[in-house]
Amino acid sequence: IVLGGTKGHQSESFDDRSLLLQIYNAYRWKMIPNCTGRYTCRDHNVVSELSPLQMIQRAGTNDNGSYSQLQEYYLSLPGRKDPVIVVPLNTERTIGVITFVKEEEDEEVDNYKEERGFCASSVHGKTVEEQQQQCRRRHYVHTLNTPSGFQRKLEAIGIQEADYSPC
């Protein structure tokens, strides 16, 4: 199966059993303009509250055992507001999901915290910091990356392979 090949993107062939294609076929993806080999998920309402591994699992990738081999690498980068989660989809680490984590506080939660000095959904025994973390909403912006886009984007945002490799 071939992906890309339009709007300046190079075409790339994949085995129809590949994990990348299973994910690609499970959701609607859009080529990122001027970013060969990179796709953003158009089903944002469906996947924005799912971590990368949850999104991949819901794509039905558990069927062939490939899901159980995946690892998420959570990276906070100097000079970047949003953390990044990297999930290589093959052992060669040439394709993968790059997810940008957007954290925002709910306005209602923020107002409640100001009035009472703590989080509305606080749990007994948690520190103030843990309560504040719990009050933040996490949204995920997932990108699916083929060999022509994966390493290039990681390098562009300052991530080297050693940052997301097992010790």
pLDDT digits (tens, 9 = 90+) for 73-95: 999 888 888 999 999 998 889 99
Spatial distance between the Cα atoms of 113 and 132, rounded to a whole number of angstroms: 9
- Per-residue model confidence (pLDDT) at position 118: 45
- Per-residue model confidence (pLDDT) at position 54: 94
Short-list 101, 110, 106, CA closest to 137: 106
Beta-carbon contacts of 116 under 8 Å, excluding residues fewer than 6 positions away, are none
pLDDT over 70 percentage in the chain: 65
The model's pTM = 0.75
Select the more confidently predicted residue: 118 or 160. Answer: 160
